[in-house]
Structure 1
Amino acid sequence: MEARHSAMGMWTHSRPEKVCLCPFLPGCPLDVSTCLYIVQHPAEESRVLRTVPLLAACLPPGKCKVFVGRRFSEERNPELAAVCQHSKTLLLYPGAEAQNLQDMNEIVTGDVQNVIIIDGTWSQAKDMFFKNSLFHLPKQVQLSSTPSSQYVIRTQPTNMCLSTLECAAITLSIMEKDPAIQEVLLKPLRALCSFQLQHGAQVHHSKEHLLKCGLYDKPLPKNKRKMKRIQKLITNQKI
């Protein structure tokens, strides 16, 4: 357990023993060939309940690398640039040009692949994607269908939006052709949410749910672009 505490760093050391997440982590790191590269918005570093440390604790050293920043370039980030230029790299980001990961036939079990995931709010992720040319080099993929998020202690834009850990769990289960991976990675996330709810946290429904149920208690935006996004959430249109 101490070794796993070390793997999770100060984020785990700050948790009391009675809400320790170590019992919910796999006994040994998952044996995967896929390498995850998390490009993380700086604001995520200060969030107490972020999910990337849980993800990293479940995977072998070197299989989950985190790069923090808003802007990335070949000069400042040569390792990340090399990954973006690699033929075996995929970028998980939805869009018109993205291929559904579940439909890809060229994924070969045991063949080393790289997957880049942007970690931040949806607006932060969008800004990072469009303002970093490096992220336009890999093949862009998306998850064609996803379950409702189990990360219920943080508000999501829509019912189908997932946390970084949940995206990684589904992606790895597809890449490795092993559905059991998803359950292993989601186990500590469920425990985290359960502990928080037992100690005063509230279930956070998505903005989509609150708007449709008339429970959204914040002033509606006056900006026409933002208001259009709100209307799309209510009518189930893709954003």
Structure 2
Amino acid sequence: MQASPSRCERCRFPPELCLCPLVPRLDAPCRFLVLRHASERERLTNTARWAALALPGTEIVDHGLPEAPPDLSHLSAPGTFVLFPAPAPAPPPTVPPRLVVVPDGTWSQARRMVQRVPVLRTLPRLALAGPPPGQRLRRPHRGDGMSTLEAMAGALAVLGAGEAAERLLALHATAVERVLRLKGMPDGISPEAVHAER
């Protein structure tokens, strides 16, 4: 992915608002693999990009590109969970997952990935209680909708890494504030400016 010459290659913000100096390096009890819908690749508001900067070992794999789909067969290994609502409430895993797969896109895109990618249908689910309080860049279609970064922070909290979760949410708040400044909305989100969120 090529960033604009006037934007940071890592966080995609312009130099005067670069997020990189504020990105913490967080320890997590598991690794994350973000399965990102192709439509999210170029969006400044793709929060998975910021989460990956803070969580070493996080891999972003793009889904839905014109070329052949990525090989995801390794995700069937024991200890892999998918971060997605479960049909029925389930307790958190007693042993931390080795890998957490995070579908990244709008709600409908994420749901279709879970339904259509065979290996994701077979994985146990790591579900969250609900979104954290705070300002968002996109209006959720569901009451429990949240950004990908917020969902990853929620997973950290469920898995006992509360401090890392809080620091990741603080990064999210800073990034949201900077995006709003870029859009000329320092005091809040204009309903016309937000996009649908998963």
Say whether the fold is shared (TM-score over 0.5). yes
1:89 to 77, 80, 101: 80
1:198 to 181, 190, 195: 181
Distance in 2, matches of 1:82 and 1:67, equals 13
The structure-2 alpha-carbon separation of the partners of 1:105 and 1:154, relative to structure 1 and needing over 3 Å to count, comes to closer
Q: Is the contact between residue 107 and residue 145 of structure 2 (CA under 8 Å) also seen in structure 1?
A: no
Q: Runs of 4+ in structure 1 displaced over 4 angstroms?
A: none
The structure-2 alpha-carbon separation of the partners of 1:77 and 1:22, relative to structure 1 and needing over 3 Å to count, comes to closer
Distance in 2, matches of 1:159 and 1:198, equals 26
Q: Is the contact between residue 8 and residue 18 of structure 2 (CA under 8 Å) also seen in structure 1?
A: no
Task: Give 2:55's aligned residue.
Answer: 59
Task: Give 2:37's aligned residue.
Answer: 41
In structure 1, the gaps of 5 or more residues are 1-7, 206-239
Cα deviation digits, residues 146-192 of structure 1 (max 9, x gap): 334x35222211343110000001102222x1211111111221112
RMSD of aligned C-alpha atoms? 2.5
Between Structure 1 and Structure 2, the one with more helix by share is 1
The structure-2 alpha-carbon separation of the partners of 1:45 and 1:89, relative to structure 1 and needing over 3 Å to count, comes to same
Q: What are the residue-to-residue correspondences of 1:94-173 with 2, within 5 Å?
A: 94-96=85-87, 99-100=89-90, 103-108=91-96, 113-148=98-133, 150-173=134-157
Task: Give 1:187's aligned residue.
Answer: 170
Q: Is the contact between residue 165 and residue 185 of structure 1 (CA under 8 Å) also seen in structure 2?
A: yes
Distance in 2, matches of 1:119 and 1:33, equals 20
Distance in 1, matches of 2:12 and 2:104, equals 23
Q: Is the contact between residue 86 and residue 138 of structure 1 (CA under 8 Å) also seen in structure 2?
A: no
Partner SS, residue 118 of structure 1: strand
Deviation, structure 1 residue 58? 0.5
In structure 2, the gaps of 5 or more residues are 1-6, 192-198
Task: Give 2:11's aligned residue.
Answer: 12
Distance in 2, matches of 1:46 and 1:187, equals 23
Distance in 2, matches of 1:20 and 1:106, equals 39
Amino acid at match of 1:196: V
Question: How many residues are paired up?
Answer: 180
Deviation, structure 1 residue 50? 1.0
Task: Give 1:21's aligned residue.
Answer: 19
The structure-2 alpha-carbon separation of the partners of 1:133 and 1:105, relative to structure 1 and needing over 3 Å to count, comes to closer
Cα deviation digits, residues 57-88 of structure 1 (max 9, x gap): 1112xx211111139xxx9544x3112x1110
Deviation, structure 1 residue 89? 0.6
